Amino acid sequence: MKKLEETEYMEARRKPKNRKIIGCILAVIAAVLLFLFLMKSMFLHTDWKSFSEERIQTLEAEYHFDLSNAEPERYWDPAAPDYRDFFDFFVSDYADFMQNSFFGEIVVSSENGEQGAEYKCRPYTDDRLMFMVHFTKEGDRYKGHLASYTE
């Protein structure tokens, strides 16, 4: 009988310690997850924005093309210091868009027919600003993803 009482007593003393240990472990896990989330949001900041007429006019002047035949979707300011802008837009025909709506210099082009194409462009020949446009087929139209940077 004495052995049974000692066992119950020992278990009763152990339970608060186990709860404290489990609580500390959960607090450490929560702190690590919070730290990782904050680091992710700091390094991979994405601020999605929608287009306004003023923003479209600014982009047309900056990148030397006409977006009247395109359907702008969204843009965001990248966190990386070497990139300037990212934005997405839709066009019915990427070749027609690049031939008739872009007025700068196409440095490199890679066309994959119906699947899409990729262009590296310089809006103004004397400028260090460059951008890559990647077109992919989505349904009956092409989605263009533009990323601009300075060389």
Q: Which two tokens stand for residue 135?
A: 């077109």
Predicted structure pTM score: 0.60
149 near 82, Cβ under 8 Å?
yes
Strand order in the sheet with 48-49: 48-49, 71-76, 83-91, 141-150, 129-138, 116-122, 105-111
92 near 142, Cβ under 8 Å?
yes
DSSP label of 66: -
60 near 66, Cβ under 8 Å?
yes
Q: Which two tokens stand for residue 23?
A: 């609580």
12: confidence class by pLDDT, cuts 50, 70, 90 = low
Predicted confidence (pLDDT) per residue in 113-147, tens digit: 788 899 988 888 777 888 888 999 998 999 998 88
In whole angstroms, how far apart are CA 31 and each of 25, 28, 41, 61?
10, 5, 15, 47
